């Protein structure tokens, strides 16, 4: 331990400026200080570094690149007994004029992609030295960190992004890392707000990183982010539901109106494809099925089915008309043949049928009574029956799908 000389103590006590006293102390401490050497209390235990973080802000969470940008205040605390001093209590602590001359832990962020320390007006670095050799270093940094994401539940997904700290060159035996026990180890600035996510929870943990060069201590922060999916509810889900409702209007239009029925099915199909493309452009291409894919896939099936129903109804209506025309032609041909036969056999006076007989021959057979089940009556005509069933079947199928879809994708983290 360094012991200050009486003359230096007097200088610290009697100097008219505290800065000059601190400067004298630093000069003495730095005379033979080995700033490149790791401080050790003894040969059996390495240096202990305690860390805590202040999350100042999260400016961007990039789904496409699977990364996020965060601004931190990183505080490190360790003891270097080579810098201990005794000034008889004149100073509570000293502020280092040149923090670069002091040995500091070689921490790095394992999942960093980009980063920089702030130094617009002056380097945002603070280093305090206490009399017993304790050192506290605080620095403000901005980082872009990798965040592997899982989009199975997109856009109702929740992501876990990490901050991983470790020593780059010193193994766990030389430099051990712990979270600070004074107060909260990770603090979040008041008023932190993300436009597309909600920061639900922050958890800390310790870990080790094993490489070919040894075992290194590391610290981990887990940020639990929940996506704000109300935007997708307004701009994706509700419009797609409206597209389905529009296609179902075709079931209430007369089968003879072929063009309007086709338009009411095709237009929503193109609109839904446009919405789906816009949603998929916000996330990277993945090999698995997302919640949005399930939704749009089922909606596309319903829209395509409505188009198929319109085509079937149109086809059956034309076939029925063709059969009716053919039947009418056969009836007229048969009537003419019978009249000609009667004319030949019975003579002119008896060949002409009465008005009632002619009406009976030309009058088509009734289609029959409608088929009723309680209060639900289905028309006997097959074409009308298809539309009638589709009016109820499509909404019921979509309702059952929603009963299954929403609880399945909203209850994963409950």
Cβ contact 128:95 at 8 Å:
yes
Q: Which pLDDT does position 43 carry in this prediction? A: 56
List the structure tokens of 43: 């040969």
**Chain position carrying tokens 């700033």:** 35
Cβ contact 74:104 at 8 Å:
no
Q: Which pLDDT does position 381 carry in this prediction? A: 63
Higher confidence at residue 86 or residue 390?
390
> In this model, does residue 360 exceed pLDDT 90?
no
Q: How far apart are the first and last CA of the chain?
A: 56
Average pLDDT on 356-385 reads 53
What structural domains and CATH numbers belong to the chain? 6-228 (2.70.170.10), 231-330+369-410 (1.20.58.390)
Percentage, residues of the chain above pLDDT 70: 78
Q: How far apart are CA 82 and CA 35, in angstroms?
A: 10
Stretch among 213-227, 309-323, 342-356 having the lowest mean pLDDT:
342-356
Average pLDDT on 372-398 reads 75
Largest Cα–Cα separation, the chain: 156
Burial-class residue 28 by CB neighbours within 10 Å (0-12, 13-18, 19+): middle
Q: How far apart are CA 102 and CA 99, in angstroms?
A: 6
Average pLDDT on 331-360 reads 57
* Segment of 66-75, 166-175, 209-218, 358-367 carrying the highest mean pLDDT: 66-75
Q: Which pLDDT does position 120 carry in this prediction? A: 87
Question: pLDDT tens for residues 287-338?
Answer: 999 999 999 999 999 999 999 998 888 887 777 666 667 666 566 656 655 6
Stretch among 273-277, 301-305, 353-357 having the lowest mean pLDDT:
353-357
* Segment of 50-64, 78-92, 252-266, 381-395 carrying the highest mean pLDDT: 50-64
Look at the alpha carbons of 226, 230, 232, 236 in this order and tell me if their dihedral is positive or negative.
positive
Torsion of CA 137, 139, 143, 145, to 10 degrees: 20
Average pLDDT on 150-173 reads 95
Q: Which pLDDT does position 25 carry in this prediction? A: 84
Stretch among 8-12, 208-212, 323-327, 402-406 having the lowest mean pLDDT:
8-12
List the structure tokens of 6: 């009486």
Q: Which pLDDT does position 346 carry in this prediction? A: 64
């Amino acid at each position: 331990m360094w012991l200050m000389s009486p003359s230096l103590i007097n200088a610290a006590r009697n100097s008219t400026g505290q800065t000059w006293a601190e400067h004298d102390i630093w000069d003495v401490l730095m005379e033979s200080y080995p700033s490149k050497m790791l401080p050790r209390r003894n040969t059996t235990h390495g240096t202990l570094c305690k860390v805590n973080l202040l999350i100042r802000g999260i400016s961007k969470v990039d789904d496409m690149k699977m990364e996020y940008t965060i601004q931190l205040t990183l505080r490190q605390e360790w003891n270097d007994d080579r810098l201990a001093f005794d000034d008889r209590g004149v100073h509570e602590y000293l502020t280092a004029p040149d923090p670069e001359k002091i040995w500091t832990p070689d921490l790095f962020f394992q999942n960093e992609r980009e980063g920089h320390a702030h130094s617009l007006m002056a380097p945002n670095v603070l280093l305090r030295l206490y009399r017993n050799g304790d050192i506290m270093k605080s620095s403000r940094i901005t980082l872009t960190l990798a965040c592997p994401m899982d989009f199975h539940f997109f856009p109702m997904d929740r992501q876990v992004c990490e901050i991983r700290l470790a020593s780059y060159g010193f193994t766990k035996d030389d430099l051990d890392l712990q979270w600070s026990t004074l107060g909260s180890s990770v603090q979040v600035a008041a008023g932190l707000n993300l436009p597309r996510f909600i920061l639900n929870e922050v958890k800390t943990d310790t870990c080790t990183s094993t490489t070919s060069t040894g075992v290194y201590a590391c610290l981990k922060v887990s940020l639990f982010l929940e996506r704000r999916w109300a935007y997708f509810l307004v701009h994706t889900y509700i419009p797609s539901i409206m597209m389905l409702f529009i296609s179902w209007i075709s079931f209430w239009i007369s089968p003879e109106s072929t063009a309007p029925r086709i338009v009411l099915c095709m237009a929503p199909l193109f609109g839904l494809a446009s919405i789906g493309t816009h949603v998929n452009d916000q996330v990277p291409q993945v090999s698995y099925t997302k919640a949005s894919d399930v939704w749009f896939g089922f909606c596309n099936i319903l829209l395509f089915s409505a188009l198929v129903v319109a085509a079937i109804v149109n086809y059956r209506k034309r076939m029925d008309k063709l059969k009716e025309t053919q039947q009418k032609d056969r009836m007229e041909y048969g009537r003419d043949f019978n009249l000609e036969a009667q004319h030949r056999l019975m003579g002119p006076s008896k060949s002409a049928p009465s008005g009632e007989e002619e009406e009976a021959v030309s009058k088509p057979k009734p289609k029959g009574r409608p088929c009723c089940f309680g209060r639900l009556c289905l028309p006997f005509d097959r074409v009308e029956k298809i539309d009638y069933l589709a009016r109820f079947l499509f909404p019921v199928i979509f309702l059952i799908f929603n009963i299954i879809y929403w609880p399945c994708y909203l209850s994963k983290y409950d």
